[in-house]
Amino acid sequence: GWCPLSPTGAQTTQLLVEPPWRPAVLWDRVTLTCQGSGTAGATTWYRNGQRWGQEGSECLTVTESGTYTCDRPSTGHRPSVTVSNAQLVLQVPAQELLEGDTVTLRCRR
């Protein structure tokens, strides 16, 4: 179904997590988006190393916990994200954080 808008011009493959919190938790109804150079139709998804979901789909709605990987053959980079089924989790924003940044933490249960 729903795909978040992807920034254009990414040269490497990126895996976007929506909602944008890490660690991702199953009960957040997580959507993963694989973006980068190359054709969206060439996207292959894996869950725990096994092919998963619809071949060629840029987005994946997560229905089971596990480690998800997206592969775009043209970039040679296969990012992955783990979606946990933990009942209590301390989350941080999914973007890259640097020392000195102000960060909001979420304790969820």
**In this model, does residue 97 exceed pLDDT 90?**
no
Question: Rounded distance, CA 83 to CA 26, Å?
Answer: 6
pLDDT averaged over every residue in the chain: 85
Q: What is the pLDDT of residue 13?
A: 83
Q: What is the pLDDT of residue 65?
A: 96
Q: Which of 29, 65, 32 lies closest to 48 in space, CA to CA?
A: 65
Q: What is the pTM of this model?
A: 0.82
Q: What is the pLDDT of residue 12?
A: 77
Average pLDDT over residues 81-92: 93
**In this model, does residue 41 exceed pLDDT 80?**
no
Between 37 and 53, the more confident residue is 53
Q: Which of 49, 102, 41 lies closest to 72 in space, CA to CA?
A: 41
Q: What is the pLDDT of residue 40?
A: 60
CATH number belonging to domain 14-108: 2.60.40.10
Q: Where are the domains of the chain?
A: 14-108
Question: Rounded distance, CA 27 to CA 76, Å?
Answer: 31
Q: What is the pLDDT of residue 14?
A: 87
**In this model, does residue 88 exceed pLDDT 90?**
yes
